[in-house]
Amino acid sequence: MAKDNPYSFLHVKKPEIDLPESTDPYSEIVYQKGRQNLDKFISNGWLQQDTASRFYIYSQQMEGLTQYGLMCQSSIADYEQNKIKKHEKTLLHKEQDRTMLTDKLSANVGPVFLTYKSSENRSIKDRITSITTLAQAETHVTKFMDQTQKPVEHRIWKVDPSENDFFTNEFKKV
């Protein structure tokens, strides 16, 4: 999926793709390659740190259906205290692999998807709708699914930092 695409974040998230096929995907060289690739993304200016603490809204549209979400940080303490309900069983070796990569990169490069029942808090959805309706997306990319060649549109909006308290407080209610 990342072939001929130097911008694909899979080079960072799955660095074994840049090594010979015979490479053990759990070997130290894989994690070192991930660090090299992340450094390359940063030095090339493909990844930049935001100057403000903020939320981002992400949308994905395919076949007329649009899904919205917030890109943000979440508390590990909330997970450990069961404020975030665990919804799946994970394999120990996969957890160890992702932990090793995170440690080597000093960055968590794999998203964790959290959901909530919209009936629990309608105001979050309403605010997301308001922001995405009134503001132009910061980024808009259309990619095609490999096998079906159906277009998938991805959009990202930067949320003004003045909205941080709103989203933080509303999620505390969920």
Q: Which residues of 131-141 are buried (b: 16+ CB within 10 A; e: fewer)?
A: bbeeeebeeee
CB 66 within 8 A of CB 59: yes
Task: Tell if the pTM clears 0.75, that is, is over it.
Answer: yes
CB 56 within 8 A of CB 157: yes
Summarize pLDDT for 127-149 with one digit per residue, the tens.
999 999 999 999 898 887 666 67
Residue 13 token pair: 């998230």
Find the domain containing 130 and state its range.
50-74+114-174
The answer to whether residue 174 is domain-embedded is yes
CB 153 within 8 A of CB 62: yes
pLDDT under 50: residue ranges of the chain = none
The answer to whether residue 59 is domain-embedded is yes
The answer to whether residue 170 is domain-embedded is yes
> What is the count of structural domains for the chain?
1
The answer to whether residue 11 is domain-embedded is no
The share of the chain scoring above pLDDT 90, in percent, equals 52
